[in-house]
Amino acid sequence: MKTLIQNILDIARLKRVDYADIRIVHRRTEEIGVKNGNVEAFTHDEDSGFGIRVLFQGAWGFASSSKMTKTEMETVFAKALKIARASLKVRGNGVVYPSASERVDQYRTPISIDPFKIPSEKKLNLLLMSDEMMRRNRNVKISEAFMGSYKTEKTFASTEGSYIEQEIVECGAGISATAIDGGEIQVRSYPNSFRGNFATKGYEWIEALALKDHAERIAEEAVQLLYAKPCPSKVTTLILDNSQLALQIHESIGHPIELDRVLGTEASYAGTSFVRPEMVGSFKYGAEIVNVVADATYPGGLGTFGYDDEGIQAQRVPIISQGILVNLLTSRETAHVLGKESNGTMRADGWNRIPLIRMTNINLEPGEWTLENMISDTEEGVFLSTNRSWSIDDKRINFQFGTEIGWEIKKGRLGEMIKNPTYTGITPRFWNSCDAIANKDHYQMWGTPNCGKGEPGQVAHVGHGASPARFRNVQVGVMKGSD
């Protein structure tokens, strides 16, 4: 393999390109889905190939193929160079690509138990048992359990002399119970909606989730929701549990701080950002207690790795400090806009995609409160948990979320359960209304394995650490359309 890679890099140097890199990626995926006692999906995917990125006179070209032979690699290099040459005319000001120091290294996700070495029967039985436990509640009409294991081996090499090998292992699982009655659907999930919670950890992570211990509870809650009262429509105090807060961070902080979005290069698909480069260092993104870091080194985070796909080492970078925006997620090509060097966030979804600026683990630092004190300190409001729906505009200003479940807060106590909770807000206004964040005892990492961006489409695995937090004067209950 090394010889094949070296051959391409030698050709690149001979062709006098500004820069070239090659990534060889081999991915293995195992996913098991169980629904109503049946195995709905049991899949093994294996996929490999390589992608070559060429920078020629300030214009990029990229080509990729699944056929890994010397001839094919040379053909693909030639295609990438041809694309770069063709793009010269329309390259704008041309790419300025600062050099990076040569890195020769290896990184492996530290795991205790390789999920691919666990017998399939064992995994399947865990899911079937959890699924069965949910269906013991006769009002549960759909019970589902999911487990996914992922292993990515990638080799990155560049004309700068870097040669980096990485093995990233991820896994996750979750269960959900759906109760249906009278034209209404209610769903409860554990540990999170949309298939569960994911981490760069081994099978020990799945065991720690203890799916079966929560099956009965979520089944009961799904049924209770059918008969719960609707979320009131009012402006009130909102406390979010850490799983919903993770998605709130993702959508209203994580995406707006991607410098490629800020510079407009995602305009045609995912959108841009209300953030402008000149806001860095002065913009009051949130209240003084709001501190956010981008931490690609956090143990077990779904956005944790050794090096990004430009050969830059994983970093922990402050993004919001005491409420002030202090940095953005950057790449080698974009960081100069801020007068900085890349903070290592370029990742590609496989061999056939180019790296883009992606979130790593975007974490809200814990505060001082206990959740109990936060609730008892709240005269009136709602406590919402577990995401059900999300939507935000193309500049990441106006958001609206729905959660699976909520409870009223009255006079410092959790009150009645409420169904179909929704809330809406304007990003900086919302984060500036944050007046309490729970302490590290309540802190948890949440993996988001479905972050979409780019054309052709790419899915990134990213993480968010959060403790529950409180926000004042939030519009909840945005359901006029369903009258």
Interface with another protein in residues 390-429 (CB under 8 A): 390-395, 397-398, 400, 402, 420, 422, 424, 426, 428
CB crowding 380-402: b at 16 or more within 10 Å, else e: ebbbbbbbbebebeeebbebebb
Nearer residue to another protein within complex by CB, 273 or 360: 273
Note whether 149 binds another protein by CB under 8 A: no
Which residues, 173 to 232, sit near another protein by CB under 8 A?
178, 180, 183-185
User: Torsion angle of alpha carbons 53, 57, 59, 64, nearest 10°?
Assistant: -20
The region of 1-9, 107-115, 257-265, 409-417 touching another protein under the rule CB under 8 A is 257-265
> Which of 7, 74, 78, 87 touches another protein by CB under 8 A?
87
In Å, how far are 58, 243, 244, 360 from 319, measured between CA atoms? 30, 20, 20, 12
Q: Does residue number 341 form part of the binding site for another protein (CB under 8 A)?
A: no
Q: Which of 56, 60, 369, 431 binds another protein (CB under 8 A)?
A: 60
Binding window for another protein (CB under 8 A); candidates: 34-42, 167-175, 321-329, 374-382: 34-42
**In angstroms, what CA-CA distances link 34 with 42, 209, 211?**
9, 17, 13
CB 85, min distance to another protein, A: 8
Cα gap 301→235, rounded to integer Å: 34
Size of the site for another protein (CB under 8 A): 90
Quick one: which of 352, 362, 348, 324 has its CA closest to 463?
362
Given 57, 78, 82, 316, the residue binding another protein (CB under 8 A): 82
The amino acid that residue 3 corresponds to is T
Decide: is 14 part of the binding site for another protein (CB under 8 A): no
What is the 8-class DSSP label of residue 54? E
Minimum CB–partner distance for residue 439 and another protein (Å): 31
* Binds another protein by CB under 8 A, chosen from 24, 354, 357, 462: 354
In whole angstroms, how close is the CB of 393 to another protein at the nearest point? 4
Q: Figure out which of the listed residues 17, 80, 134, 218 binds another protein, where binding follows CB under 8 A.
A: 80
Backbone angles phi, psi at 12, to 5 degrees: -60, -45
Concatenated DSSP letters for 271-287? ---S--GGGTTT-B-S-
Task: Find the part of the chain contacting another protein (CB under 8 A) among 348-356, 371-379, 407-415, 435-443.
Answer: 348-356
First to last CA, the chain: 62
Nearer to another protein among residue 402 and residue 465 (C-beta) = 402
371 binds another protein (CB under 8 A): no
Of 130 and 420, the one with the shorter C-beta distance to another protein is: 420
- Calculate helix-pair angle for 2-14, 70-87, nearest 10 degrees: 30
- Cα–Cα distance for residue pair 338/245, rounded to 1 Å: 28
Q: Under 8 Å CB-to-CB from 81, ≥6 apart: which residues? A: 15, 17, 54, 56, 61
Site for another protein in 431-460 (CB under 8 A): 452, 455-459
Q: In the range 264-303, which residues lie near another protein by CB under 8 A? A: 264-269, 271, 274
Rounded to whole angstroms, the Cα distance separating 481 from 117 reads: 49
CB of 200 to another protein, least distance (A): 21
